[in-house]
């Protein structure tokens, strides 16, 4: 059975304006690979209702899972929860279970529960809550869309709460061979090898050496660890050190 597929939707003007360097994509990509879920596409959109609803609708029909990051805080520009509800034609309002979680947290920490904070208990009908052990305000799963916070520490904690509940596939095995030759020298033998092993995926990721010359990390991926090993050894034999 092929692995489940996934897309990620990063929501936030601050990423698109270059103010903030996104960290959640890299984190989620690594976690999904470990879990055997194939991340096929990422989109970054602004805090704009039409953009968010449109992206969710188009991604959730193509992929088994959609993971979102950002826009579920208490301020006026946090519109993700409403947009996800709209994308699925669901009602959204303050939900008792989410309100109780927030109230317990604020009582414990001595923070006043006000109208803005109560917005974080707005959860679409039929959604399941995603636990947030860092700052308590929950994320949620509606249909196949998992809605999480943008603050990296909170995002990561939510991913950790969520991932064990999803059914993954066989994790891909990957091995990397570092070759200190230009990609132009590597390309011929690598292309021949890739054609011989159609079930493996082979990629070349160049880097610059301090000398100014180029080398490349060649990554071979596949579900058959022995085959990956054989291909890496044959490649290494083509480029003796």
Please identify which residue in 4, 24, 37, 47 interacts with a copy of itself, judged by CB under 8 A.
47
**Residue 201, interface with a copy of itself (CB under 8 A)?**
yes
Q: Which of residues 179-198 bind a copy of itself (CB under 8 A)?
A: 182-188, 190-191, 194-195
* Shortest distance (Å) from residue 204 CB to a copy of itself: 4
> In terms of CB distance, is 17 or 199 closer to a copy of itself?
17
Please identify which residue in 144, 161, 204, 238 interacts with a copy of itself, judged by CB under 8 A.
204
3-state secondary structure of 172: coil
**Residue 29, interface with a copy of itself (CB under 8 A)?**
yes
Q: Which of residues 222-241 bind a copy of itself (CB under 8 A)?
A: none
- Are 207 and 179 in contact by the 8 Å Cβ rule? The answer is no
Q: Which of residues 131-170 bind a copy of itself (CB under 8 A)?
A: 135, 151, 153
Q: Which of residues 110-129 bind a copy of itself (CB under 8 A)?
A: 111-112, 114-117, 119-120
CA distance 138 to 158: 8
Residues with Cβ < 8 Å from 180, sequence gap 6 or more? 209, 213, 215, 241
CA distance 169 to 150: 26
What are the phi and psi torsion angles at 95 (to 5°)? -110, 140
CA distance 91 to 60: 19
């Amino acid at each position: 059975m092929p692995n489940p597929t996934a897309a990620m939707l990063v929501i936030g003007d601050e990423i698109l304006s270059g103010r903030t360097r996104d960290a959640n994509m890299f984190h989620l990509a690594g976690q999904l690979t470990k879990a055997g879920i194939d991340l096929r596409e990422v989109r970054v959109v602004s805090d704009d209702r039409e953009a968010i609803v449109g992206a969710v609708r188009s991604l959730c029909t193509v992929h088994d899972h959609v993971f979102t990051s950002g826009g579920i805080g208490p301020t006026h520009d946090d519109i993700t929860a409403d947009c996800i509800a709209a994308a699925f034609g669901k009602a959204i309002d303050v939900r008792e279970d989410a309100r109780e979680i927030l109230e317990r947290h604020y009582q414990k920490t001595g923070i006043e529960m006000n109208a803005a904070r109560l917005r974080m208990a707005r959860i679409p009908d039929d959604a399941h809550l995603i636990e947030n052990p860092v700052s308590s305000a929950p994320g949620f799963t509606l249909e196949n869309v998992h809605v999480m916070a943008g603050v990296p520490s909170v995002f990561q904690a939510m991913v950790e709460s969520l991932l064990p509940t999803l059914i993954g596939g066989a994790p891909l095995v990957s091995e990397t061979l570092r070759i200190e030759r230009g990609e132009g020298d590597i390309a011929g033998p690598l292309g021949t090898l890739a054609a011989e092993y159609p079930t493996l995926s082979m990629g070349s990721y160049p880097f610059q050496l301090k000398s100014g010359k180029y080398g490349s990390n060649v990554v071979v991926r596949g579900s058959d660890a022995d085959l990956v090993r054989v291909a890496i050894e044959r490649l290494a034999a083509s480029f003796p050190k």
